[in-house]
Structure 1
Amino acid sequence: MRSPSCCRCPNGDLYVANSGSSSVFTIDTATDTVIGAAIPTGTTPAWLTVAPNGSAYVPNNISNSVTVIDTTTNMPVGAPIPVGSQPSALVVAPNNKVSVSNIAGASVSVIQFSPTLSTVNPTQGTTEGGTVVTITGTNLTGASVTFGGNPATGVSVNAAGTQLTATTPPGAPGPVDVTVTTPGGSVTLTNGFTYVLPVHATTLIATPALTKLFPPHVYFPFLTATLTDQVTGLPVPGQTIVFTIGSNLMGTAVTDAQGTARLNETLLLSLILLHGGYDASFAGATTATAVLSPSSAHAGVIEP
């Protein structure tokens, strides 16, 4: 079934293909007058169709092409798009793919236009990847997505080609470009997504002071505290632990490969006994892979 040689636009205007003059007239149906100059097309335009998005598509039967008209400006969009031999009937799908029947070529040409991007939500996620992102735009059918050049997984596009979801790959901290590629082309949203370090809770465990009352002394000259990453379950080396007794600063020590900080403090036993132990605290830190949350611990006294 052929599309008509004239078609009404959603704004009420009527578009009429002029086969002999290779143009399209626009008619204001409220006043029944021609609007502006004729819009140039290819040779022998006919059977035009106006899509829901407002674009008009005109098969040019002799020049074997399709002209796209922006009905907001009444101007052609780019150059005519080559299709098969003697294009005639034309249908626009809900996802904006255009199917053109080519009479002489006994074929159908499918046109998918370049994608556009409107929004990315959320705009940030952790460097570990795994963030489910929703991207809106147009002409997204058949899309693949990259974040900073790395391919996303689980890409799914809605039937209209206006929204997709994808799961981010791992990435380095900072903003990255989001690129969507379809059979119709590619589009990039510069710095459209930002990778941030994940936040990991920590656990600090302090070892009780082991004492002997007569004579009073500390069996072990080291007070120790061990720092663990709750997410990975691994000890955290290279972090500063602060040791205090009440409001008194005893000193600081750095955790070793086993996540343990040791403070040599044999001279403050009386103060430790007076306060019933000591405290260890970790102020939090940012490493190459995560933001570590603060933690603290209190250690009592064991008196055998």
Structure 2
Amino acid sequence: MPELPEVETTRLKIEPHLKGRRLLRLEHDAPHKYRDTHLAAGRTIATLTRRGKYLFLNLEDPGEEPLELIVHLGMTGGFRFQPTTHTRVTLHLDGSDPLYFQDARRFGKMAVVRPGQYRSMPTLAAMGPEPLSDAFSEAGFVRTVTDAGKMIKPWLLSQGPVAGVGNIYADESLWASRLHPAQTHLTRPEAARLYSAIRDTMRAAVDAGGSTLSDGTYQQPDGMSGLFQTRHNVYDRAGQPCPRCGTPIVRTVLAQRGTHFCPHCQVLRHP
């Protein structure tokens, strides 16, 4: 599933194509997945923003209240400048070529809502701070983590402590901070290491255009691959030597998610 770096890369690539354009209509045949998109017709795309793994097209129309077109890419969703065999939604624009949303496995969703009306999206409504923003403070994160008493990786994936961290970047951040994915009751120094690792990992992944895995499902809108997968230390590297100590990377399942870690560098410390 695309995580913050992939969604942010997508936003940066499609923003010049969309910003300031009038959205004539969204063409699709699945109103249960792409809800109330008719409300976007005729509105101007004022800005594109992102919250965690969600994209926001902020829509304006003189004399009308603003609306938001919220996009969740799901597992295989992404925007393209050309149609593909898996095109599900076509965004028709005034004065520009269309933009196409493709989604092989059909888990992506869209909805047009009033700003802040996220009752139907509980994860978005309860999402924690952005990891690269000033709102994500070391003091606040350390306090939250040390009080949580939960297995750290599933807790990160919940989006509550910090937004946008998914399977790839949780594994990479935990390796960088030398923490076992099932660790609970972090010490303050451990939590501080994890805070820095999340910020550093996310920043580097955004700069690299995200991660394109072996299945090739994530690509940038212009068809380019991300490059951060060449810098993965543990994710999808089971059996390969840890870059830090040489011990073979282990893959296990934690909270129903494939999880990669180094058993030498990331020892489970019991309270």
Which one scores higher on RCO, CA 8 angstroms, separation ≥ 6? 2
Structure with bigger helix share is: 2
TM range (shorter): under 0.3
- Higher Rg of the two aligned structures: 1
Structure with bigger strand share is: 1
